[in-house]
Amino acid sequence: MNLDPDLDRLAALEGFFALRTGPPHRRPGRPPLPTLAEVYAAPSGTAGPDHGEADHGEADPLAFRVRKVVRLLAAPEVRVGVSVAQQGLAARLWSVALGAAVLYGRVPDLDPRLLHWDADGSAPDDLWLSRVRPLPGDAATIRRLVHHGHLEPLSAALRARHPVAAGLLWGNAASALASTARLLDGWAAARGRTDVRDRVRALTAELLGHPDLRDTGTLDGTVFRRRTCCLYYRVPGGGVCGDCCFTKAPRSSPTDPSG
């Protein structure tokens, strides 16, 4: 099945799976949304803390997004905001690619030059794909599009701005992939779609086999237990995530396993 221009089958999944298509809406009085290629290439430090939230992410979208997450979560340190912001974008990208692969058998070209990002937006209005170009829905294509096309430059851009461990970010990427697989697996189980369940599990296992991801945790079916911590437990009232390496939130401030 080929992709439809509006990716309607993805929209039916809701949440992180939906993707806006076509030219992004122009925002009155503000510049056009940047592409993710522009975001990754933007020099760090172009929007210092004294800019506050007034620039809506226009000067440095990544720095803006991190500041916004830190503010909304009342995070005690910036790297918590870096972690949560990166994991959220990773989840969006994995969801679009994996969802399309199992529902259409094809994936849209997610070239960073085609994807526009609103650093001040939330799903599904944060990402706009300017042109729908179908590609094969295999693991190699998904890896090229998401892992190499986005997660590598995103990690490099964030680490150029903030002192955060690469291992933590790759653990987040693996966790986001496994979470996407669990959601699709549950959707398929509720509808008796064993073909979708088999496809999800096979793609996820192959994608997690990449050297950047394979040592970040263990996968059993769609149950993932990571070896690093995303630091969410440091958020007031945050606790631990379902796949955390911790079984309960540390009571003190140990050296967290983030690398």
User: Mind giving me the DSSP string for 203-240?
Assistant: HHHHHTTSTTTTTSEEEETTEEEESS--SGGGSTT---
Domain ranges of the chain: 8-234
The closest of 186, 185, 191, 175 to 226, measured between CA atoms, is 175
Task: Please write the tens of the pLDDT for every residue from 183-232.
Answer: 999 999 999 999 999 999 999 999 999 999 998 888 888 887 777 765 65
pLDDT of residue 15: 77
pLDDT at position 44 is 67
Does the global pTM surpass 0.85? yes
Residue 235: per-residue pLDDT? 63
